[in-house]
Amino acid sequence: MADPYGESGPGEGAPRLVARQAAGDNAEPLTISEISAALKRVVEDRFGFVRLRGELSGVKRAASGHLYCALKDDAAVIDAVMWRGSAQRLGFVPEDGLEVIATGKITTYAGRSKYQIVIETLEIAGEGALLALLEKTRRRLDAEGLFAAERKRALPYLPRVIGVVTSPTGSVIRDILQRLADRFPSHVLVWPVLVQGQGAAEQVAAALRGFSAMEPDGPVPRPDLVIVARGGGSIEDLWAFNEEIVVRAIAECSIPVISAVGHETDTTLADFAADRRAPTPTAAAEMAVPVRADLAATIADLAGRQARAVFRPLELGRERLEARLRRLPRPEQLLQGQTQRLDEFSERLRRGLMERAGRGRERLAGISARLSPRLIEQQLVRKREALAGLARLADQLHPERPLQRGYAIVRAADGHALTSRSAARKHDALRLQFADGLLDVARAGAAAPRKSGAKGGAAPRQDDLFG
């Protein structure tokens, strides 16, 4: 018999049943996890930082806040994931078909033996792609009627309180305050917001909703007019005012709104949604109030210098804090693989619950079909007929039924029926039951059984039934 380990079996190169280590080879076979980890190290070391340009495809935001998509060109495609912390800092809403530039690192996902890019920053690839996205959003919102002329409201002639949504440290607020002071001093409420970059659109929309929700007789006076303002800049600088959340907040605001974003040649979607568009923030102040008198310009200048003096230390502190935060490792990087696996399990659980609910609905439908009212009525009719037949049979078989035809039932004194002559001879007294009543009889010389409830005294003499 040949040695199964090949010592005396076929020659070199012949197939074997049991693996063995070749002579001089000290390399142990790798496990799947070991080769996956090795590949992950090689890929991440080689492509620790990359910038990719491509078209977004299959954009999907998970319930956990992570963004999953793919980047493709005309010849290749690569999967991509953007963790929640980075996705929350996006300055635009990713959509399929949008050309972008993604910055991040290439890594592997052992659960599917695939490589992917973990995106840290995502930017629109040039002004052409940005303008295409802008036009697509404009057509969609216009089709909903957000820019319709009949939605526009007239501005109040002399507003008592004016609300301004803008940056508290920029030149825009100073220009508005100065022009209002020159023309007609008014009570101004400034809602400070970011006017560009991450979070600017959300802050502007929150400010508009906040002004709209204020009570007319509340502790803080409610504005009669709201100005949304920002200085000039590139299309990227003004992009927050093209965001859908800002456009909808302007359209839904219960207070008339003037949009004063950028210079005369700048146009944003906020201008289309507002009740009035001003070419500059200064022109917005001129639209808001009529001319009353010129006021001292030094007041506005001092107010601006005061604002700069107060907020400059805060800005420096914020910059230092952000610089330190960038040096710290991000928590999501430590949990990338587990987080992605959790998203997959969540999706599998959701599909499983839906499938089980569908099977339950099908089973319930089958049971409901068997419980139709017509079927139940048919069963009740059959049961009633069977019960009526049993009642008729019980009536025919009743033991007292023969008494109607002249028969009698012989009972002992205690009332139980006697069915044979030998059984009757054992008793001195008997009771005969006829259809019309009972008759007590006794053996000659024996006392007849006393009826229940009879008074004392001698019972009447009975005939001798036994001779």
Is the pTM of the predicted complex or chain greater than 0.75? no
- Nearest residue to 79 via CA among 107, 103, 120: 107
* Topology (CATH) of 158-326: Rossmann fold (3.40.50)
Q: Where is average pLDDT lowest: 15-19, 91-95, 253-257?
A: 15-19
Domain ranges of the chain: 32-124, 158-326, 344-390, 401-467
Instruction: Quickly state the pLDDT bin for 458 (edges 50, 70, 90).
Output: very low
- Pick from 90, 216, 88, 240: which is nearest to 165 by CA? 240
pLDDT at position 308 is: 84
Run of H or E residues at 444: none
What CATH class does 32-124 carry? mainly beta
More confident residue, 411 or 210: 210
Between 376 and 13, residue with greater pLDDT: 376
**Which carries the bigger pLDDT value, residue 47 or residue 449?**
47
pLDDT exceeds cutoff 90 at 270: yes
On average, the pLDDT of the chain sits at 82
Taking CA atoms, 376 is separated from 20, 370, 372, 379, 384, in Å, by 73, 9, 7, 5, 12
Q: Which pLDDT band holds residue 454 (cuts at 50, 70, 90)?
A: very low
Contacts 24+ apart (CB under 8 A), 236-241: 236/127, 236/130, 237/196, 238/196, 238/262, 238/266, 238/268, 239/91, 239/92, 239/130, 239/196, 240/91, 240/194, 240/195, 240/196, 240/197, 240/200, 240/201, 240/204, 241/201, 241/204, 241/268, 241/269, 241/270
Burial class from Cβ neighbours inside 10 Å (0-12, 13-18, 19+) for residue 69 reads buried
337, pLDDT greater than 80? no
% of the chain beyond a pLDDT of 70: 86
Cα separation of 201 and 240, whole Å?
5
Nearest residue to 49 via CA among 117, 131, 109: 117
Cα separation, 212 vs 410, in Å, equals 103
pLDDT score, position 6: 47
> Which has the minimum average pLDDT: 30-34, 85-89, 152-156, 190-194?
30-34
pLDDT at residue 293 above 90?
no
Of the pLDDT bands very low, low, confident and very high (cuts 50, 70, 90), residue 14 is: low
CB 86 within 8 A of CB 121: yes
> Of the given ranges (110-119, 401-410, 412-421), which has the lowest mean pLDDT?
401-410
Whole-number pLDDT of residue 321: 87
Question: Taking 70 as the threshold, does the pLDDT of residue 407 lie above it?
Answer: yes
Name the range with the highest mean pLDDT among 19-23, 28-32, 278-282, 324-328.
278-282
pLDDT tier at 214 (50, 70, 90 boundaries)?
very high
Confidence at 457, pLDDT banded by 50, 70, 90: very low
* Band of pLDDT at residue 448, cut at 50, 70 and 90: low
Q: pLDDT tens-digit profile of 125-184? A: 766 677 777 888 888 899 999 999 899 999 998 899 999 999 998 889 999 999 998 888
